[in-house]
């Protein structure tokens, strides 16, 4: 399995950033490459199963995500963890840690390329780099959304602002 890890500091509270990430309906707004939801069985708590597609190097891959952990941690942070099946099996863990009045978001993405030796070759020929760019972009999108005035409660959100623009 290959592992990708990225972090970003967001000027918002861990509670608000975690709540946004936990909302399955909002995933495609910030996570680059995710397609529309096909189905959701659950409310975002552990055990929830999500069916959707992910665009990887121009190909749509069906992904089944199962939420394994989702909640507060010691020290005022949050943990969100899922397992993925389908065309890109693996897991993702996100932590939301308070840091100097902001939130340090760290995302670890572990995945396995199907196809044996051909999958390993494809990983080295661009899949890993594509997933690294996607994860960095997703965290930057999350930061941009989370630092909007309406998101952090500095002003009311206007209906015409939703959905906010997202760099995919």
Domains of the chain as residue ranges with CATH:
2-151 (3.30.530.20)
pLDDT tens digit sequence for 106-140: 999 887 765 555 455 555 555 677 778 888 988 99
The answer on pLDDT for 2 being more than 80 is no
Rg of the chain in Å (alpha carbons)? 16
How confident is the model at residue 47, as a pLDDT? 95
The answer to whether residue 154 scores a pLDDT higher than 50 is no
Strands of the sheet with 49-56, listed across from one edge: 2-10, 102-111, 90-99, 78-86, 59-72, 49-56, 34-41
The token pair at 102 is 């902001």
Write down the pTM of the prediction. 0.79
| Predicted pLDDT of residue 156 | 52
CB 120 within 8 A of CB 128: no
């Amino acid at each position: 399995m290959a592992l990708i890890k990225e972090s970003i500091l967001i000027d918002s509270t861990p509670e608000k950033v975690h709540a946004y990430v936990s909302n399955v309906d909002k995933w495609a707004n910030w996570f680059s490459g995710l397609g529309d939801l096909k189905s959701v069985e659950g409310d975002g708590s552990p055990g929830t199963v999500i069916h959707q597609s992910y665009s990887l190097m121009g190909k749509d891959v069906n992904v089944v995500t199962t939420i394994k952990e989702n909640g507060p941690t010691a020290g005022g942070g949050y943990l969100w963890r899922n397992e993925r099946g389908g065309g890109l099996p693996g897991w993702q863990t996100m932590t939301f840690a308070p840091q100097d009045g902001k939130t340090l978001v760290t995302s670890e993405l572990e995945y396995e390329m199907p196809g044996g030796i051909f999958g390993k070759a494809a990983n080295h020929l661009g899949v890993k780099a594509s997933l690294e760019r996607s994860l960095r972009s997703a965290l930057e999108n999350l930061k941009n959304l989370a630092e909007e005035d309406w998101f952090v409660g500095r002003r009311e959100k206007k209906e015409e602002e939703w959905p906010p623009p997202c760099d995919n």
